């Protein structure tokens, strides 16, 4: 994909056109296409500026700023709320992983971790010791 014209080049094209140059002559001198010059001049006539238009490419966010603010307030009120509960409470059009990613990136909220909580699986050492005791009793 070709790169956008620099602001300096845009100014020079507008100046050359103001001096009365043709599109083809300016295109050859500036090494740009005639259609680029035509689009630049149309932009200048519409907006009065040589600056490039903002790109609105990409996917639009499903959660707007107002909804993110509501979610942040709800999390502040109820810190132990789950992602599923948030989705159901506000009928959000996103999945739990997408909401998690959004909360991490846009609000700076991270998953809560409790170091004192232990896992549900039995420890390996305890299971091995119990198995060895069972085997010795069977002998």
With a threshold of 0.85, does the pTM exceed it?
A: no
Q: Which range of residues forms the domain containing residue 69?
A: 65-107
Task: Answer yes or no: is 37 within a domain.
Answer: yes
12 and 26 in contact (C-beta within 8 Å)? Answer: no
Q: Is 130 buried (19+), middle (13-18) or exposed (0-12) by CB count in 10 A?
A: exposed
Task: Answer yes or no: is 74 within a domain.
Answer: yes
Task: Answer yes or no: is 41 within a domain.
Answer: yes
43 and 54 in contact (C-beta within 8 Å)? Answer: no
The full length of the chain comes to 139
* Residue 92 structure tokens: 């959000």
What are the pLDDT digits (tens) for 111-130?
766 555 555 555 555 566 66
What are the pLDDT digits (tens) for 74-92?
999 998 899 999 999 999 9
pLDDT at 118: 55
pLDDT at 44: 92
Residue matched to tokens 């094209």:
13
Based on the structure, what is the number of domains in the chain? 2
């Amino acid at each position: 994909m070709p790169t956008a014209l620099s602001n300096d080049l845009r100014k020079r094209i507008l100046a050359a056109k103001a001096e009365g140059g043709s599109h083809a002559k300016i295109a050859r001198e500036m090494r740009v296409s005639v259609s680029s010059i035509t689009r630049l001049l149309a932009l200048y006539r519409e907006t009065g500026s040589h600056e490039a238009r903002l790109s609105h490419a990409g996917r639009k966010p499903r959660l707007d700023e107002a909804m993110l603010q509501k979610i942040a307030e709800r999390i502040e009120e109820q810190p132990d709320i789950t992602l599923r509960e948030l989705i159901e409470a506000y009928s959000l059009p996103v999945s739990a992983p997408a909401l998690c990613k959004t909360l991490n990136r846009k609000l700076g909220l991270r998953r809560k971790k409790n170091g004192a909580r232990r896992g549900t699986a039995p420890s390996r050492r305890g299971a091995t010791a119990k198995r060895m005791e069972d085997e010795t009793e069977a002998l």
